[in-house]
Amino acid sequence: MNRFQEPDARAIIADLALPAGSAGLDVGCGVGLFALWLAEAVGPKGRVVGIEPSAERVEAARALVGRTLPSGRLEFREGDATRLDFPDATFDWIWCGDVLHHVQETGKALAEFARVVRPDGRIVVKESQLLHGVFLPGYPALERRLRQAEMEWSRHEGGEFSFEERRQRTPASLRAAGLRVESFRTYLLQRQAPLPEATRDYIQRVAFERNWGPRLRDRLTAEDWERRSALCDVASREFVLDDPDYYCLYPISVVVATVP
């Protein structure tokens, strides 16, 4: 989805020590950046397939990174987490990054993951912000209210539970699906001014304009919306990303499970 996480993502992938030459599936690969970094990690004899539910997203991944590696090492196809179009035991591992909280039928998806991974293979589920990150340093009360409004908003897609609740239930979901949780580790991404372009772009477009954008307006008081706009709108004189003391903190959790 973004290059904002790239240095941390590469470190997380390195910590997994995926075997050189192994075959992996990236479920919900978005525009394919993680699939590329995973394919690089397993080397020239390895293979990664990224799947996305819509043809449009598959095309976006192919266009962005599809030609980066020699053919056979990285491939993108249409597919859904709950109906994987692969024979049993096709892959050595599965990567599912910031996707599982979008999938309503969690158990069905995890059963499919377990089916297409070989015995003793790994299922890696990454979810961000099991703990709240900090995007508005110095404004904790306002940020808490924005995050509460965001959590309430996400119930319309997340069903019974908000995205945040679903993310926090990841280890429990894996266990409920009969998988063995082997490790659970949280990394902390930290960036500070002057911000790398990818960080600035992500926070402005995804965190401020999308996540905390117009969709939250009716869930906030007029006063909070005004304050949010002063701090988060790029045209504002108080735009926080222009503050020379700005920083952000963003936790990323990685749960690794195996099929017992």
Ligand X SMILES: C[S@@+](CC[C@H](N)C(=O)[O-])C[C@H]1O[C@@H](n2cnc3c(N)ncnc32)[C@H](O)[C@@H]1O
* Binding residues for ligand X restricted to 25-44, rule: CB under 6 A: 27-30, 34
92 forms part of the interface with ligand X (CB under 6 A): no
Q: Is the Cβ of residue 165 or residue 224 nearer to ligand X in the bound state?
A: 165
CB of 128 to ligand X, least distance (A): 8
Per CB under 6 A, the list member of 81, 216, 240, 257 interacting with ligand X is 81
Chain centre to alpha carbon of residue 83? 20
Q: Is the Cβ of residue 1 or residue 249 nearer to ligand X in the bound state?
A: 1
* Binding residues for ligand X restricted to 207-246, rule: CB under 6 A: none
53 forms part of the interface with ligand X (CB under 6 A): yes
Q: Are 249 and 189 in contact (CB under 8 A)?
A: yes
Per CB under 6 A, the list member of 4, 24, 80, 92 interacting with ligand X is 80
Give the dihedral of Cα atoms 102, 106, 111, 116; nearest 10 deg.
10
1 forms part of the interface with ligand X (CB under 6 A): yes
CB of 6 to ligand X, least distance (A): 11
Per DSSP, the chain holds a count of helices (H) and strands (E) of 9, 7
166 forms part of the interface with ligand X (CB under 6 A): no
Cβ-count burial 212-225 (b if 16+ within 10 Å, e if not) = beeebeebbeeebb
Q: Are 119 and 259 in contact (CB under 8 A)?
A: yes
Q: Are 42 and 19 in contact (CB under 8 A)?
A: yes
Which one of the spans 52-60, 129-137, 180-188, 216-224 is the region binding ligand X (CB under 6 A)? 52-60
Q: Is the Cβ of residue 80 or residue 92 nearer to ligand X in the bound state?
A: 80
Give the dihedral of Cα atoms 199, 200, 204, 205; nearest 10 deg.
-60
Q: Are 96 and 125 in contact (CB under 8 A)?
A: yes
61 forms part of the interface with ligand X (CB under 6 A): no
CB of 32 to ligand X, least distance (A): 8
CB of 99 to ligand X, least distance (A): 4
Interatomic CA distance for residues 49 and 72, integer angstroms? 9
Instruction: Work out the number of other CB atoms within 10 angstroms of the CB of residue 93.
Output: 24
Residue, CB closest to ligand X = 30
24 forms part of the interface with ligand X (CB under 6 A): no
β-strand partners of 74: 48
Q: Which long-range contacts (C-beta less than 8 Å, at least 24 apart) are formed by 211-216?
A: 211/150, 212/146, 212/150, 215/153, 216/146, 216/149, 216/150, 216/153
CB of 28 to ligand X, least distance (A): 3
Q: Is the Cβ of residue 85 or residue 242 nearer to ligand X in the bound state?
A: 85
103 forms part of the interface with ligand X (CB under 6 A): yes
Chain residues that interact with ligand X, rule: CB under 6 A: 1, 27-30, 34, 52-53, 57, 80-82, 97-99, 102-103
